[in-house]
Amino acid sequence: MRTLSLITALAALALAGPALAQTVALKGPDGESASLSAADLAALPQVKLTVTHHGKTSTFEGAPLADVVARVGAASGKAVRGPELATVIRVTAKDGYQVVFGLAETDPGTRKGRIILADRGDGGPLKDDGPFRLVVEDDLRPARSARMVETIEVIRLANAKPAEAGEHKH
């Protein structure tokens, strides 16, 4: 009986192993690519966000989306201007659900509300929502807080051409 329990436990671990080792595929604006694991995410600056989704308040932990996409060459800080304002981030979940953000929405110098890629919720690993979930602070409803995130792509929509003197400046 003990042997059967041990075999069952080992089989369960073997099946769970790939799920625990899942990563997010990152694609940059100039063709860069990377894979982000839970350990890679933990090495980035961490943020806690408390949000209310569907009447339930939860606290999520993860890295700012701006720091995640910087790993594949996305502009940040003062570089988010001009043509970079026409750069978008497309997030795709395991079930094909997609959400899009302007790059400037992820920049703390542009927008007060934060967006994180979380791998922890309410003090523990994400369960049904994971292993990675996008959490958007200040959205009126959680439609862009995608769960089971698999791919994050940075896509430049405009030609990267510096503004001419006297062109649209802020």
Compute the CA torsion angle 146, 122, 110, 100 (nearest 10 deg).
0
The answer as to whether 75 is a domain residue is: yes
Give me the CATH number covering residue 144.
3.90.420.10
Instruction: Point out the least confidently predicted range of 36-40, 120-124, 125-129, 130-134.
Output: 125-129
pLDDT, residue 60, reads 96
Q: What's the average model confidence in pLDDT over 89-108?
A: 96
Binned at pLDDT 50, 70 and 90, residue 5 comes out as very low
* Per-residue pLDDT reduced to its tens digit, 10-47: 444 444 444 444 999 999 999 999 999 999 999 999 99
Q: How far apart are CA 76 and CA 80, in angstroms?
A: 5
Is 16 within a domain? no
Please report whether residue 119 resides in a domain: yes
Domain span at 137? 23-156
pTM for the model: 0.81
Please indicate, yes or no, if residue 38 is contained in any of the structural domains: yes
Which residue bears the tokens 């806690």? 48
Parallel, antiparallel or unpaired: strands 24-27 and 149-156: parallel
Q: What is the pLDDT of residues 102-116, one digit of tens each?
A: 999 999 888 889 999
Q: How many domains does one find in the chain?
A: 1
Structural domain includes residue 31: yes
**What integer pLDDT is reported at residue 162 of this predicted model?**
54
Which residue has better confidence, 166 or 76?
Answer: 76
**pLDDT score of 129:** 85
Contacts of 170 (CB under 8 A, 6+ apart): 81
Query: Is residue 6 situated within a structural domain?
Result: no
Give the whole-angstrom CA distance, residue 77 versus residue 69: 13
Residues 130-145: tens digit of each pLDDT: 899 999 998 888 999 9
How many CA atoms lie within 13 Å of 101's alpha carbon, on the beta-carbon side? 30
Measured distance CA(131)–CA(23) in Å, rounded: 8
